[in-house]
């Protein structure tokens, strides 16, 4: 049977079909339009971010993103390299001898992007709005000890604490919730926890154009008090998928991919090896750590904990799994934080020593068995890891293999992140992954969770013989007004923790950046959460 | 027809209630406490007092039965609560993202129809010809390639290497091409084969022979009779798939950074944003029911042998 009388009719239909299928392929407008977009303003950059930037409320958390909040809002004091605190919106400050009164001299001639003046009154108004919802911010130490605030005169702001708390200034350097919204951004009732009317800040950038889930464009703030950014425009495209980010970057739709885990380690190395782009790694921003739960009977023994540390080849594991993007860690806190530069004797990979320590602890290997036993109990532990984290998974598997060689059976259990956190808080784990907070939160936030219950870390240390003394030292360090004493306390706390081996440092986490050749040097911010893009330049 | 429609619409109620019940039980069975999920999503450290306060606010301190009826009551009033993450009404969030998803689903569906109807029809008519082999290859690929992988491959060749389309985003018609092709390939695979099979089946029917003996033109027999009837099973598939497309664009939206409902849902899962997950399940159930109903009506219009009364008359 024939539907089409001639071959010609058939061919016409067939070619129409093909052309429909390949619809649009002949049109190259789309491609050129995106190239034009990049070339449109030589003095602008486009980067990607995995999530929408959110409503940019400076006093609440999700869904606003730290990176963009730091472009618009500024702190009184900022966190510089090595933890040095620098004047920002406060030109100078004095702290009373008892450590209770902080008086800030505000910078003159600072204006919000709407042209209104930045003064002590608006600083107080912001603090009041934050304190109205103090319970939401209880994680931040300064909020818990804040008694009241005062606008002494136009440019003098005072903060009075209930008790001395030395990291108060570090806490003021964080991105949220203690940065400043201009008057016109406040809702009528002044309660910013329910929303703001507009993101009005003193920072170098203003939000020019925004389409939820798609992009946000920032331009220079004409009222900015400091040196204006070198770029005219920063566009942030929302690309949730890491592989798509890499493809968009390769095509030239992005100038920059930046962040922690923004692209896979494979992709980073691939882009680096092409030689067509510039790549860089930051200083350590945090430590990937194993948390050994000392309330577990088996792990209550120091010898067992140290044996486990001797029992795996840390360097090989880190190199193999992170492809050189993380660095083997010997210290619990990397030494680029204040007070953390302590001498640590690295725990080497030594299977014999590990076995000897386990023997000493009474865990013997019965003949014909592969798992050590004591009083008929096998040396069996469980490690839990975040299911969605491929690095944690690979590391758990490596540990399982390595520890089996010293007669320890390790079961691995993937958990959803929320369950992992819940189990950690309830102390229902043997071995878990843990990370410190980074700058500007550490080292004070770190010692705080070592002493304060509710995060699972203090709980994991419960069985240490010197726990009470450790907690006491933490309290003293946080309240101390004497720099030398504080350093001594930190050294003592960190040394004890290192020796006790409840924390097993694995590797230092670093941020990665990949950028096109026409972007001049990229400088990583000292504050983990910030990136105001002030210093980036593009070659014309 | 009116009574039939009323009956069908009334049947929707128990189905939706059952869907709500399933969703309600699944959420209660999961180990995550909604109050904890809320605080975690808002980045607030969950103290016991805050947790108690939130549990009361969400009505979690009441019995399961009361909680269930309250959930139903709220859903009936189209009140899905506020998203834990954004603190805005879920309904608003969904409504803002739905158009993008609908556009993508409809464009993929249209592309699938445009390609598979002629392709399936021609490969039946010209059985074992070049076009039949081509359609077989296309179906094979469409059925076996995972969508996310196809997405990356298309981006790599057509966006990065050939520079014909943008990699991601939404705005111009060019942005539609790659995600629509990605989504529609699997549909093309199914429909082409489905249509080919039913055309071949119809060609064996007596009415075709009768029409030929009456001297009707071959083209008229094919288009007016065979195709019209053969297309019915494909329509059923289309209707089912429209629901699937509207709720299943998740992976493609993620790969192409398409700002739709699917992507929003993925984020909701990661954030344990329970009100959003809840609304997604209810909405998906309703979408499937409505799509099925539409298909049935269209079927009856196309094939008069199916009557409104639900039995076949000859």
How close does chain B come to A75, measured CA to CA in Å? 20
What's the pLDDT score for residue B304?
A: 64
Contact A515, A255 (CB under 8 A): yes
- Residue A178: pLDDT above 90? yes
Chain A's closest residue to B272, CA to CA, is A418
Distance CA A94, CA A77 (A): 12
Q: For residue B75, how far is the Cα from the chain centroid?
A: 21
Residue A235, preceding bond cis, omega within 30 degrees? no
Query: Does B166 score more than 70 pLDDT?
Result: yes
Please state the ipTM of this predicted complex.
Answer: 0.82
Residues A368-383, mean pLDDT to the nearest whole number:
93
Say whether B164 and A17 touch across the interface (CB within 8 A). Answer: no
- Nearest-by-CA chain A residue for B252: A241
Cβ proximity of A499 and A257 under 8 Å = no
| A138 contacts B122? CB cut-off 8 A | no
% of residues, chain B, pLDDT over 90: 17
Res. A192: pLDDT tops 70: yes
Query: Which positions 400-419 of A are in contact with B (Cβ < 8 Å)?
Result: 416, 418-419
Whether chain B has a CB inside 8 Å of the CB on A139: the answer is yes
The mean pLDDT value for A100-112 works out to 95
- Band of residue B11 on the pLDDT scale cut at 50, 70, 90: confident
Q: Model confidence over A266-285: pLDDT tens digits?
A: 999 999 999 999 999 999 99
Predicted confidence (pLDDT) at residue A5 exceeds the cutoff of 60: no
**Contact call for A237 and B166, based on CB within 8 A:** no
User: B94-260+287-302: what fold?
Assistant: MetI-like fold (1.10.3720)
Domain ranges for chain B, please list them.
Answer: 2-76, 94-260+287-302
Which uninterrupted H or E stretch holds A14?
A: helix A7-21
pLDDT tens digits, B285-303: 888 888 888 887 777 776 6
Contact B164, B145 (CB under 8 A): no
Question: What pLDDT does B234 receive?
Answer: 81
* B114 vs A: CB within 8 A: yes
A27 CB within 8 Å of a chain B CB: yes
A418: which chain B residues are within 8 Å (Cβ-Cβ)?
32, 36-37, 40, 272
Residue A13 in this model has a pLDDT that exceeds 80: no
With vertex at residue A428, the alpha carbon angle to CA A426 and CA A432, rounded to the nearest 5 degrees, is 105
> How large is the average pLDDT for residues A424-452?
91
Domains of chain A (ranges, CATH numbers) = 76-183 (3.40.190.10), 205-282+511-538 (3.40.190.10), 286-509 (3.10.105.10)
Q: Which residue matches tokens 């039949």?
A: B132
Instruction: For an interface test with B, give the residue of A6, A59, A133, A251 to mutate (most B CBs within 10 A).
Output: A251
More confident residue, B226 or A395: A395
Name which residue leads in pLDDT, B20 or A8: B20
Report cis status (omega within 30 of 0) of the bond before A440. yes
Write out residues 166-195 of A within 8 Å (CB-CB) of B: 194-195
Q: Is the pLDDT of residue A30 over 70?
A: no
Does pTM top 0.80 for this prediction? yes
What is the average pLDDT score of chain A?
A: 89
Whether residue B255 and residue A35 make contact (CB cut-off 8 A), yes or no, is no
Q: Is A453 on the interface with B (CB under 8 A)?
A: no
Listed by number, the residues of chain B in 14-33 with a beta carbon closer than 8 Å to a beta carbon of chain A are 31-32
Over residues A514-540, the mean pLDDT reads 88
User: How far is Cα A535 from Cα A24, in angstroms, rounded to an integer?
Assistant: 41
pLDDT category at B313 given cuts 50, 70, 90 is: very low
Residue B164 has its nearest CB partner, among A28, A194, A239, at: A28
Residue B131 in contact with partner chain A when CB distance is under 8 A: yes
A382 has a pLDDT exceeding 80: yes
pLDDT for B311 beyond 60: no
pLDDT band at A32, cuts 50/70/90?
A: very low
B187 pLDDT above the threshold of 50: yes
Least confident of A40-49, A125-134, A281-290, A498-507: A40-49
- Mean pLDDT within B178-191: 91
Q: Which residues of A touch B37 (CB under 8 A)?
A: 418
Q: How confident is the model at residue A245 (pLDDT cuts 50, 70, 90)?
A: very high
Torsion of Cα atoms, A61 then A123 then A74 then A440, to 10°: -70
pLDDT at position A489 is: 94
- CB distance B111–A60 less than 8 Å? no
| Interface-testing mutation among B89, B157, B159, B162, with chain A (most A C-beta atoms within 10 A) | B159
Average pLDDT over residues B255-283: 86
How many alpha carbons fall within 13 Å on the CB side of residue A69? 24
A270/B contact by beta carbon, under 8 A:
no
B85 CB near a chain A CB, below 8 Å?
Answer: yes
- What percentage of chain A carries pLDDT values higher than 90? 71
Tell me, rounded to whole angstroms, the distance of Cα B306 from its chain centroid: 25
Residues of A in contact with B103 (CB under 8 A): none
Q: Which of residues 245-284 of B touch A (CB under 8 A)?
A: 254-257, 259, 263-264, 266-267, 270-272
Residues of A in contact with B270 (CB under 8 A): 388
Residue B119 pLDDT > 60: yes
Average pLDDT over residues A428-444: 92
Q: Please give the residue of chain A at the shortest CA–CA distance from B257.
A: A239
Asked if residue A25 has pLDDT above 60, the reply is no
């Amino acid at each position: 049977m024939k539907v089409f009388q001639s071959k010609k009719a058939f061919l016409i239909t067939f070619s129409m079909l093909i052309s429909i299928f390949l619809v649009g392929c002949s049109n190259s407008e789309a491609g050129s339009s995106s190239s034009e977009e990049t070339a449109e303003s030589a003095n602008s950059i486009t980067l990607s971010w995995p999530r929408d930037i959110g409503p940019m409320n400076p006093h609440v958390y999700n869904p606003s993103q730290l990176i963009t909040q730091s472009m618009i809002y500024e702190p009184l004091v900022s966190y510089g390299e090595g933890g040095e605190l620098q004047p920002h919106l406060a030109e100078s400050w004095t702290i009373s001898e008892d450590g209770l009164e902080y008086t800030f001299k505000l910078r003159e001639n600072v204006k919000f992007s709407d042209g209104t003046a930045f003064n002590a009154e608006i600083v107080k108004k912001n603090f009041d709005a934050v304190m109205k919802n103090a319970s939401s911010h209880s994680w931040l130490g300064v909020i818990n000890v804040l008694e009241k605030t005062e606008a002494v005169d136009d440019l003098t702001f005072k903060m009075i604490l209930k008790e001395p708390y030395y990291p108060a200034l570090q806490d003021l350097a964080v991105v949220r919730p203690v940065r400043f919204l201009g008057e016109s951004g406040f809702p009528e009732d002044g309660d910013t926890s329910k929303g703001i009317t507009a993101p009005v800040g003193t920072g170098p950038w203003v939000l020019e154009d925004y389409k939820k889930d798609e992009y946000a464009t920032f331009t220079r703030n004409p009222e900015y008090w400091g040196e204006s950014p070198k770029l005219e425009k920063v566009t942030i495209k929302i690309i949730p998928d890491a592989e798509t980010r890499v493809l968009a970057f390769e095509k030239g739709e992005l100038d920059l991919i930046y962040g922690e885990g923004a692209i896979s380690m494979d992709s980073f190395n691939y882009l680096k090896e092409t030689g067509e782009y510039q790549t860089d790694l930051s200083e350590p921003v945090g430590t990937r750590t194993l948390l050994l739960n000392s309330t577990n009977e088996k792990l209550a023994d120091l010898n067992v904990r140290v044996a486990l540390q001797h029992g795996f080849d840390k360097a090989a594991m880190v190199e193999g799994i992170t492809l050189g993007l993380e660095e083997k860690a010997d210290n619990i806190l990397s030494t680029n934080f204040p007070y953390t530069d302590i001498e640590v004797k690295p725990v080497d990979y030594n299977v014999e020593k590990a076995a000897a320590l386990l023997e000493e602890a009474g865990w013997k290997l019965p003949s014909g068995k592969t798992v050590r036993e004591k009083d008929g109990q096998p040396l069996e532990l469980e490690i839990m890891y975040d299911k969605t984290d491929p690095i944690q998974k690979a590391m758990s598997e490596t540990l399982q293999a390595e520890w089996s060689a010293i007669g320890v059976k390790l079961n691995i259990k993937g958990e959803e992140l929320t369950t992992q956190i819940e189990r950690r808080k309830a102390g229902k784990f043997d071995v878990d992954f843990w990370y410190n907070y980074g700058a500007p939160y550490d080292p004070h936030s770190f010692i705080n969770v070592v002493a304060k219950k509710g995060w699972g870390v203090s709980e994991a240390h419960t069985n240490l013989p010197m726990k009470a003394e450790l907690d006491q030292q933490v309290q003293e360090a946080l309240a101390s007004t004497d720099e030398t004493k504080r350093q001594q306390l930190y050294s003592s706390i960190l040394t004890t923790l290192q020796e006790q081996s409840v924390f097993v440092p694995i590797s230092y986490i670093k941020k990665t950046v990949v950028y096109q050749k026409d972007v001049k040097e990229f400088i990583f911010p000292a504050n983990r959460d910030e990136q105001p893009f002030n210093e980036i330049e593009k070659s014309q | 027809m009116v009574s039939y429609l009323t009956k069908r619409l009334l049947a929707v109620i128990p189905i939706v209630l059952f869907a709500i019940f399933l969703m309600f039980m699944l959420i209660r069975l999961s180990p995550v406490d909604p109050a904890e999920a809320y605080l975690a999503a808002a980045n607030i450290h969950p103290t016991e007092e805050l947790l108690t306060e939130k549990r009361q606010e969400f009505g979690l301190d009441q019995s399961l039965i009361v909680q269930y009826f309250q959930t139903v009551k709220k859903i009936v009033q189209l009140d899905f609560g506020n998203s834990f993450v954004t603190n805005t009404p879920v309904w608003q969030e969904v409504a803002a993202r739905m158009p993008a998803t609908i556009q993508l689903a409809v464009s993929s569906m249209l592309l699938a129809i445009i390609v598979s109807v002629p392709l399936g029809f021609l490969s039946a008519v010209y059985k074992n010809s070049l076009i039949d082999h081509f359609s077989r290859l296309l179906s094979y690929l469409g059925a076996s390639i995972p969508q996310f992988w196809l997405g990356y491959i298309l981006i790599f060749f057509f966006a990065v290497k050939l520079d014909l389309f943008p990699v991601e985003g939404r705005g111009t018609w060019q942005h539609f091409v790659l995600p629509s092709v990605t989504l529609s390939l699997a549909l093309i695979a199914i429909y082409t084969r489905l249509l080919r099979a039913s055309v071949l089946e119809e060609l064996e029917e007596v009415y075709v022979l009768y029409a030929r003996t009456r001297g009707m033109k071959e083209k008229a027999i094919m288009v007016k009779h065979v195709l019209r009837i053969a297309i019915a099973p494909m329509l059923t598939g289309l209707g089912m798939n429209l629901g699937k497309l509207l709720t299943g664009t998740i992976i493609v939206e993620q790969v192409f950074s398409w700002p739709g409902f699917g992507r929003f849902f993925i984020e909701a899962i990661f954030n344990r944003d329970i009100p959003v997950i809840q609304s997604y399940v209810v909405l998906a159930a309703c979408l499937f029911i409505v799509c099925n109903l539409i298909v049935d009506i269209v079927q009856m219009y196309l094939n008069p042998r199916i009557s409104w009364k639900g039995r076949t008359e000859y």
